[in-house]
Structure 1
């Protein structure tokens, strides 16, 4: 994720102090807490890649739509939490069919595919390894839920947009293989079980 904008080094987190939880009906309050913090992506509520019948939706409607997915038991992602503290990060990881079409090459007849489409790490924690820890936890989570393939759509670190989808090198370091592109910036990458 991007580096801090100020001169202080990013806060390094002790991996042992981080735990990861699935967002469910029972944990949705923690998800709301994270997304309502200053600087958090409450403008999208991670609905940008999810199914919607309308293109332009107000923020409160996006939140309502996300909460309806969670309440219906639809997998939406995982949170990172610090021991003794609240949520500090998010990764959208869910079955690919719960998202809208993510690339032109997508074959909707394929089954068992989970997609990783978004990360959120607060600015003060960027560059400290939290995104990588979230990716590792997302991989474990998807495979534990039955994924046969995990697909992601990261960008190169120099890309001016879609940075919230993660960086290509972070996925390549974990064995993801590039299978194509989605648009001009996003790489389609896969990890097989």
Structure 2
């Protein structure tokens, strides 16, 4: 069952489902969008990684959507898909580098953003983070984890920047590799 939309100023946020998958496809095939990865970098299994082209990644993502697996939120503006945040239960991703869950914890992870180049610098990521946290909370998460990088990092920039998550109340609890930081927000 689809969750209700979350409003934030002029944007509406909706989880991707089989019912709006055409919007997800339209967003990911728009100019400059991540149609090369289909947000599968942190989701694919070893077997799926063997089929490493854009068409294969799209098929893998569409299979998850059709199966009802949570994959993320689309930000809509005036009814049109505008931006993306990947938010889903941590166990639906491969190892992201966060600590083992404590008993009773339900961890959801934010791993990716996409905002059209012409709309960057408007604070969209802050709204995407807030909507992702609200969505995870509504779905039963007790913790939201993210894996951003410092603003000067040369890679993994699609995962967001540390200051944006600090502003949203996340706390750094460690590192995942050389650049990525593990940040958590307890929804207690």
Report the equivalent of 2:129: 135
Report the equivalent of 2:55: 60
| 1:34 maps onto 2:27 in alignment | yes
Q: Which has the higher contact order (CA 8 A, sep 6+)?
A: 1
**Aligned-pair CA distance for 1:108:** 5.7
| Corresponding residue SS for 2:19 | coil
Aligned pair partner of 2:158 in 153, 164, 173: 164
Aligned length: 177
| Corresponding residue SS for 1:31 | helix
Unpaired runs of 5+ in structure 2? 1-7
The answer (yes or no) to whether the contact 1:112–1:147 under 8 Å persists in 2 is yes
Aligned pair partner of 1:99 in 81, 93, 96: 93
The answer (yes or no) to whether the contact 1:51–1:98 under 8 Å persists in 2 is no
Query: What's the Cα RMSD here?
Result: 1.3
**Aligned-pair CA distance for 1:100:** 0.2
Aligned pair partner of 1:145 in 139, 146, 150: 139
The answer (yes or no) to whether the contact 2:48–2:60 under 8 Å persists in 1 is no
| TM-score of the superposed pair, with normalisation by structure 2 | 0.90
**Aligned-pair CA distance for 1:54:** 4.0
| Corresponding residue SS for 1:26 | helix
| TM-score of the superposed pair, with normalisation by structure 1 | 0.88
| 1:88 maps onto 2:85 in alignment | no
- Describe the superposition over 1:125-153 as per-residue Cα deviations: whole angstroms up to 9, x where unpaired: 01111111111100100011000000000
